[in-house]
Structure 1
Amino acid sequence: MNAQTPDFKELTDRMRRELTRVTRLRRVVRVLLVIVYSATLLWFVFCLFGGYLLASADYATNVQTSQYILYGFILFCVLHFAFMRELHSLGEREGALMEHIVGELFPEARFNPAGAVNREALAASRLFSESTSLSGLETTSYGRIEIPVGEEVMSVCDVGITSLQGRDLAANPFSMLYRSLVRPIFGTRVESTMHSFRGMFGYCRTERKFRGYVLLLPDHLENKVGYLAQSIQRIRQKNGAKFVHLEDPEFESLFAVYADDEVEARMVLTPAMMRRMTELRRSFNRDLMISFRGDTLYFASETPDGFLRPGRRSLGDERLLEQFWREITFCRTVEAEMK
Structure 2
Amino acid sequence: MNRELTRIARLRRVVRVLLVIVYSATLVWFVFCLFGGYLLASADYATNVQTSQYILYGFIFFCVLHFALMRGLQSLGGQETALMGRIVGELFPEARFNPAGGVDREALAESRLFGDASTLPSPEATSYGRVELPVGEQTMQICDVGITPQHDKGLAANPLTMLYRSIMRPIFGTRIESSMHTFRGMFGYCRTQRRFKGYVLLLPDHLEDKLGYLAQSVQRIRQKNGAKFVHLEDPEFESLFAVYADDEVEARMVLTPTTMRRMTGLRRSFNRDLMISFRGDTLYFASGTPDGFLRPGRRSLADERLLEQLYREIDFCRTVGAEMK
Asked if TM exceeds 0.5, the reply is yes
Are the structure 2 counterparts of residues 31 and 170 from structure 1 closer, same or farther at C-alpha, using a change threshold of 3 Å? closer
What pairs with 1:189-268 in structure 2 (closer than 5 Å)? Answer: 189-268=175-254
Q: Quick check: 1:141–1:157 contact (8 Å CA) kept in 2?
A: yes
Partner SS state of residue 115, structure 1: coil
**Structure 2: 5+ residue runs without aligned partners?**
none
Tell me what 1:316 maps to. 302
Within 5 Å, give how 1:43-192 maps onto structure 2: 43-132=29-118, 135-168=121-154, 171-192=157-178
Distance 1:266 1:329, change over 3 A: farther
Question: In the alignment, what sits opposite 1:3?
Answer: none
Tell whether the 8 Å contact from 1:124 to 1:132 is kept in structure 2 after alignment: no
Gaps of 5+ in 1: 1-14
CA distance in 1, matches of 2:120, 2:126: 13
The answer (yes or no) to whether the contact 2:262–2:323 under 8 Å persists in 1 is: no
Contact 2:109 2:116 in 1 (8 A): no
User: Aligned to 1:41, which of 6, 24, 27?
Assistant: 27
Secondary structure of the corresponding residue to residue 210 of structure 1? strand
The match for 2:256 is: 270
Match of 2:314 in 1: 328
Q: Say whether 1:337 aligns with 2:323.
A: yes
Measure, in 1, the Cα distance between the counterparts of 2:180 and 2:193.
38
**1:169: how far off?**
6.5
SS at match of 1:209: strand
> How far apart are the structure 2 equivalents of 1:337 and 1:284?
14
Question: Percent of aligned pairs with the same residue?
Answer: 82
Distance in 2, Cα, partners of 1:147 & 1:170? 37
Q: Deviations over 1:73-126 (max 9, x none)?
A: 000000000000000111011101111111121101110111111000001001
1:292 to 278, 300, 308: 278
2-structure distance, mates of 1:127, 1:114: 23
Residues 283-328 of structure 1 deviation map (CA, whole Å, 9 limit, x = unaligned): 3431111000000000011111111111122333333322322222
User: In the alignment, is the contact (CA less than 8 A) between 2:202 and 2:276 conserved in 1?
Assistant: yes
CA apart distance, 1:247:
2.1
Q: Is 130-139 or 93-102 further displaced after alignment?
A: 130-139
Post-superposition offset of 1:131 = 4.1
Q: 1:52 to 1:136 in 2, by over 3 A?
A: farther
CA distance in 2, matches of 1:273, 1:135: 33
- Counterparts of 1:231 and 1:189 in 2: how far apart (Å)? 25
Q: Distance in 2 between matches of 1:106 and 1:170?
A: 41
Q: How many residues align?
A: 325
CA shift at 1:134, angstroms? 6.8
RMSD (CA atoms): 1.6
Matches within 5 A, 1:8-19: 15-19=1-5
Task: Measure the CA separation in 2 of the matches of 1:29 and 1:297.
Answer: 38
- SS of 2:19's equivalent in the other structure is helix
CA–CA distance in structure 1, aligned partners of residues 100 and 242 of structure 2: 34
In the alignment, residue 113 of structure 1 is paired with which amino acid?
Answer: P
Pick closer, same or farther for the CA change 1:170–1:87 going to 2, 3 Å: closer
Q: Residue 259 and residue 169 in structure 1: after superposition, are their counterparts in 2 closer, same or farther (change >3 A)?
A: closer
Secondary structure, counterpart of 2:264 in structure 1: helix
Q: Once the two structures are superposed, what CA deviation does each residue of 1:166-220 show, in whole Å capped at 9, x if it has no partner?
A: 2347742211110001111000000101011111111011111111111000100
Q: Distance in 2 between matches of 1:231 and 1:198?
A: 16
| Amino acid paired to 1:54 | L
In structure 2, C-alpha distance between the alignment counterparts of 1:313 and 1:91, rounded to whole Å: 17
Query: CA contact under 8 A between 1:155 and 1:204: conserved in structure 2?
Result: yes
**How far apart in 1 are the matches of 2:305 and 2:198?**
37
Residue type at the aligned position of 2:254:
V
CA offsets 1:44-80 (integer angstroms, 9 cap, x no match): 1000100000010011111110000000000000000
The residue identity in structure 1 corresponding to 2:145 is V
